[in-house]
Amino acid sequence: MGETLKRKLVVSSTRPPDLENRPTNDTLGWDKDSAKGELAKVIGEMAFIQHRLLAEAKQSLLIVLQGRDASGKDGLVRHVMTGMNPAGVRVVNFKVPAGVERMHDYLWRVHAACPARGEVGVWNRSHYEDILVPRVKNLVSEDVWTRRYRHVRDFEQMLVDEGTTILKFYLHVSHEVQRQRLQKRVDNPESAWKHDPSDLSDRELWPKYSEAYTDVLAQTSRPAVPWFVVPADFKWVRDLAVAKIVLETLRTMNPQLPKPDKSMKGIVVV
Ligand code: AMP
Ligand code: MG
């Protein structure tokens, strides 16, 4: 089940990003009524395997979430990742680099945030911002952001070689759905705090971001470190799609509980 979904959403050499033509409102053949129960089941199994991952303490899973403002990165973390034991999950929100972060290379803070053995890392934005933002806003010359593709590919490959499985999700929303969500955000006193003036200036740069994202996905999706384009106009589709792919991946990682020490046999606790 998860394998077919992965093939459908992945970016590969035979399946380019093609964001213009990938639907944002696909329901992937699912219906909303049964999706809720299905998500609960998927999250339950995710939690079961994550328990083993943490106990095994040999490999890690890194989930990278990218997408425009209001594409649902925060909602996804809240609806899907909270099903796992928080003792083994590390959620990191990457913001505009500040203070000491600006005194180092761009991967410094990123490497420090990587999940330890046994942990699941969830990144709300990531090192990909260091390619997208400087490019779209003309902050550095083209050769500076283009060479970062090479850095990022090598960095991710190193993490894979050392025991981290990486999944990268681009949450794909339409221009109109972003408008509705940003409007709702400012109109609702419960969410108005989330509004950032940069959301509006970034929205004006929509075509430039489309171009930048298309390039990022094409340049940095590889079989061992894939990007998935997740239709994200419907929150329930977004959540279920990501949860299913995470579950499928955890199954493949197949973490095992450590074997009890032989000397424990026959111990009587008094
Ligand atoms: P949000 O995720 O909406 O809370 O906002 C975080 C903001 O930080 C977004 O506008 C990102 O584009 C920005 N950001 C995150 N990482 C970087 C980075 N490495 N370089 C530039 N801007 C970044
Ligand atoms: Mg924002």
The structural domain count of the chain equals 1
Q: Which helix (H) or strand (E) holds 168?
A: strand 164-172
Other C-beta atoms lying within 10 Å of the C-beta of residue 2: 18
**Is residue 265 domain-resident?**
no
- Ligand 1 geometric centre to CA of 134 (Å): 11
- Write the CATH number for 145: 3.40.50.300
> What is the overall mean pLDDT for the chain?
97
Q: Which domain holds residue 30?
A: 2-255
What average pLDDT does range 128-146 have in this prediction?
Answer: 98
**Is residue 262 domain-resident?**
no
**Is residue 264 domain-resident?**
no
Among 129, 136, 140, 216, say which to mutate for ligand 1: greatest number of ligand atoms within 8 Å of CB. Answer: 129
Q: What is the pTM of this model?
A: 0.97
- For tokens 């403002």, the residue is 69
- Ligand 2 geometric centre to CA of 229 (Å): 20
pLDDT the model gives residue 2? 85
107 alpha carbon, distance to own chain's centre: 17
pLDDT the model gives residue 239? 98
**Is residue 161 domain-resident?**
yes
**For residue 182, what are the β-bridge partners?**
none
HSE value, Cβ hemisphere, 13 Å, CA-based, for 268: 1
**Alpha carbon distance 182, 185 (integer Å):** 5
- Ligand 1 geometric centre to CA of 31 (Å): 34
Share of residues in the chain with pLDDT > 90 (%):
96
**For residue 168, what are the β-bridge partners?**
64, 227
Q: In this predicted model, what pLDDT tens digit does every residue of 197-244 receive, in sequence order?
A: 999 999 999 999 999 999 999 999 999 999 999 999 999 999 999 999
Ligand that comes closest to the CA of residue 113: 1
- Ligand 2 geometric centre to CA of 268 (Å): 57
Mark residue 269 as left, alpha or beta (left: phi above 0; alpha: psi -120 to 50; beta: remaining): beta
To the nearest 5 percent, what fractions of the chain are helix, strand and coil?
Answer: 55, 15, 35
**Is residue 261 domain-resident?**
no
pLDDT the model gives residue 262? 87
pLDDT the model gives residue 80? 97
What average pLDDT does range 83-105 have in this prediction?
Answer: 97
Q: In this predicted model, what pLDDT tens digit does every residue of 148-202 receive, in sequence order?
A: 999 999 999 999 999 999 999 999 999 999 999 999 999 999 999 999 999 999 9
pLDDT the model gives residue 182? 98
**Is residue 42 domain-resident?**
yes
Per-residue pLDDT for 1 more than 80? Answer: no
Share of residues in the chain with pLDDT > 70 (%):
100
- List the residue whose alpha carbon is closest to atom 21 of ligand 1: 96
pLDDT the model gives residue 36? 96
What average pLDDT does range 3-9 have in this prediction?
Answer: 96
**Is residue 145 domain-resident?**
yes
Ligand that comes closest to the CA of residue 178: 2
